[in-house]
Amino acid sequence: MGIWPLGRRRNSPEPSAPAPRAGAPRRLAVVELWTAERRLTVGLELGGARLTDVLNGEPMVSVVVLDPPPEEGSVDVELRPEHAWQDLNMEAILLAFPPPQATDPRRRLHRPRQLIELQVGPFEVSGTVHIPPGAQAAGFLARQGRRFEPVTRVSVRDSRSELFERRADVVLANLHGVQTMRDVGLAEGTEIDLAEGETAGQ
């Protein structure tokens, strides 16, 4: 009887491919969106993109309104059959609070930070922005063409309520809804007033 070398036998069938796994459940990032009158907790399907890029893309973004919202600190939720998609106009959104997420300090972009104050609709936003060396925060943001820009280590106050204050690691502020931006803590602070009908992205 013949002897075959170790390994695959002649005429042995090809190994069968593993059975396809059931599709992984679709996950939605949990984001808090504020208009001048409403605060919504929604789920967005990012598909690997950054939240900032999604909000700065098309003027209408498909979301699932999460009511009641998930417990605080949820990074994402599973898309369920009862969830209904609806389109939101991003121009109406003044502030967006991303979900909390851990970051690797070794991969952070180290750029100068400057303190800034913004008036976005009825909200007074104080925090820091990362800018190129030699730039000033208010002027740098005013020259950006994007709708939303991140502000970090932020405090948000509602001018309609003296008792309201919200703190967060980061908020995405809609520059198209900004009335004023002011550098804070500089020897010669810069204040930019946006005329009615003018946007910071123009």
Residue 77: inside a domain, yes or no?
A: yes
Residue 200: inside a domain, yes or no?
A: no
- Are residues 121 and 183 both part of a single domain? yes
**184: how many CB neighbours lie within 10 A of its CB?**
15
CA angle (100, 111, 148) in 5-degree steps? 50
pLDDT at position 52 = 92
Q: In total, how many domains does the chain have?
A: 2
By residue range, what is the domain housing residue 169?
108-193
pLDDT by residue for the chain (202 residues), tens only, comes to: 443 344 444 454 554 444 444 567 888 999 999 999 999 999 999 988 999 999 999 999 999 999 888 876 567 889 888 889 999 999 999 999 998 765 545 544 555 788 999 999 999 999 998 888 878 888 888 887 789 999 999 999 999 888 889 999 999 999 999 999 888 855 344 454 544 334 444 3
Residue 179: inside a domain, yes or no?
A: yes
Whether the CB-CB separation of 97 and 44 falls below 8 Å is answered with: no
Residue 12: inside a domain, yes or no?
A: no
- Are residues 125 and 78 both part of a single domain? no
* Pairing label, strands 178-184, 148-158: unpaired
Q: Does the global pTM surpass 0.85?
A: no
Distance CA 106, CA 100 (A): 18
Q: What CATH number is attached to the domain comprising 142?
A: 2.30.30
Residue 5: inside a domain, yes or no?
A: no
Distance CA 76, CA 67 (A): 14
Residue 168: inside a domain, yes or no?
A: yes
pLDDT at position 101 = 64
pLDDT at position 43 = 94
Distance CA 81, CA 56 (A): 28
Q: Whole-angstrom distance between the N-terminal and C-terminal Cα of the chain?
A: 84
- Are residues 73 and 128 both part of a single domain? no
Helices (H) and strands (E) in the chain, counts: 2, 12
- Are residues 76 and 112 both part of a single domain? no
Whether the CB-CB separation of 136 and 183 falls below 8 Å is answered with: yes
Residue 42: inside a domain, yes or no?
A: yes
Residue 18: inside a domain, yes or no?
A: no
pLDDT at position 202 = 38
